Structure 1
């Protein structure tokens, strides 16, 4: 969500080579495409929504009212909605620790799927209590695998991994935040976008008025960095990493 959609589209076009197209949700929402595939959406924040500019994951649900009730029953907070929006109904909520997320009941853009091709590599919830968070989201969104087509959550290597079929769509990690309460540091969802060249994307971010929000992190398989756009919305870019002296990972 952005307060200046034109500037936001210009920034992400320059950094990630996105092309924006109108959608069935009206003038206040545009879908970003890369190589002909939908990867993200940017919506216009109005003055009546006193919420920060941010990237927010929206989870598809069958019934928005049932989802809102589940959120409240399990200690979460409903910030907006559910409200009619374009071709469906949307809600904005926060889990018991304050991490903000959305949900959507209605038609989705065809071929829009996290974890595939140019789409976000995955969504990551950085929180203090991964197990409690996985219980909350699992019960709200029915991540038990019992309903056909739904996601399944499992605990793997100190993370809760959420998969849709064979695609990893979300990670929930605990212990990454300081235990001491800090109003500037709270649990939140991060969106990871894949790029072929991390340094090139960082330079493009600087040229377009964004900023670097973390050092570059490295693992045997990838490298990633947290960035912020000119309005302060944080996002993460991840690129392949081939250790020196070794063949590229496959």
Structure 2
């Protein structure tokens, strides 16, 4: 993970794509976003994507690690003062820790899942400077958890990442059908309900990544031309122009112009 400065514990600090074909993934996301890629010299096999010279995301090939093969997906990282302590709180609150905590690059990390099996990553270490602080084209705009009970999920994540311990920078807003997480005066994540309770449902609880684009229609067209799937075509929403895409391996992500703060 490319990172050089302290982040705010408990808040989103990075995203990474687990892929089965690193070269194909770079070709696809390079075509859609214009990203450039560099190996992370501190983490073997890890590649960092840059937009306008700034690190915005990571890519790692799915391998058999500690008996677990990670699926192709975008994963949200949350900062923690101690990955080991946060992993312990995950287990105490009914979640699971699939991999780690272990040393990775300049810090320590763990792959985990909440009680409804939405995957996320715990990161202890420096955070990418300015990551999620602005909305430059090709950078992450914000994150969404689609789940069954956003209020129960907020209690889980709030407990794991100790949101109450940082009232000066973290603001959790409970609304009638969602929970909004604000840090540094702007919305960085939202927790939404609506996912069916059936274990056989095609839609499972999952963290979704929104990437900034000021050319959502053109980017969606580039994704289709690069053999991705446009799951939801570009449309106008209260947040601006948005579209939902799956890459050729099935990794789900969103394009968003984000004209206003999601809160």
2:62 aligned residue (20, 38, 45): 45
Matches within 5 A, 1:1-250: 1-48=18-65, 49-113=68-132, 116-118=135-137, 119-144=139-164, 146-147=165-166, 151-156=170-175, 158-175=177-194, 177-239=195-257
Greater RCO, CA 8 A, separation 6+: 2
Distance change >3 Å, CA 137–CA 37, structure 1 → 2 = same
Q: Secondary structure of the residue that 1:12 maps to in structure 2?
A: helix
Asked if the contact 2:234–2:243 (Cα under 8 Å) also holds between the matched residues in 1, the reply is: yes
RMSD: 2.1
Q: Distance in 1 between matches of 2:27 and 2:257?
A: 22
Partner of 2:14: none
Is contact 1:24-1:87 (8 Å) kept? no
**Pair 140,218 (structure 1): closer, same or farther in 2 beyond 3 Å:** same
Contact 2:97-2:113 at 8 Å conserved across structures: yes
Mapped contact 1:195–1:238 kept (Cα < 8 A): yes
Paired with 2:163 and 2:28, the residues of 1 have a C-alpha distance of: 35
Secondary structure at 1:41's aligned position in 2?
Answer: strand
**TM-score for the superposition, normalised by structure 1:** 0.88
Partner in structure 2 of residue 245 of structure 1: none
Larger Rg: 1
Unaligned runs of 5+ in 2: 1-17
Task: Calculate the TM-score normalised by the size of structure 2.
Answer: 0.84
1:118-175 CA-partner distances (Å, limit 9, x unpaired): 421100000110100011001101112x337753321246321111111211110112
Give secondary structure in 1 for the equivalent of 2:69: coil
Residue by residue, what CA displacement relative to the aligned partner does 1:17-63 show, whole Å, maximum 9, x if unpaired? 11112224333112111112221111222134412110000111110
d(CA) in 2 for partners of 1:108, 1:24? 16
Query: Counterpart in 1 of 2:7?
Result: none
Whole-angstrom distance in 2 between the partners of 1:45 and 1:150: 35
State whether residues 213 and 257 of structure 2, in contact with CA within 8 Å, keep that contact through their aligned partners in structure 1. yes
**8 Å contact from structure 2 (residues 132, 142) kept in 1:** no
Report the 3-state secondary structure (helix = DSSP H, G, I; strand = E; otherwise coil) of the residue aligned with 1:218. strand
Q: Which stretch has the larger CA shift, 11-20 or 111-120?
A: 111-120
Aligned to 1:70, the other structure's residue is in SS state helix
Matched-pair contact (CA < 8 Å) for 1:38–1:111:
no
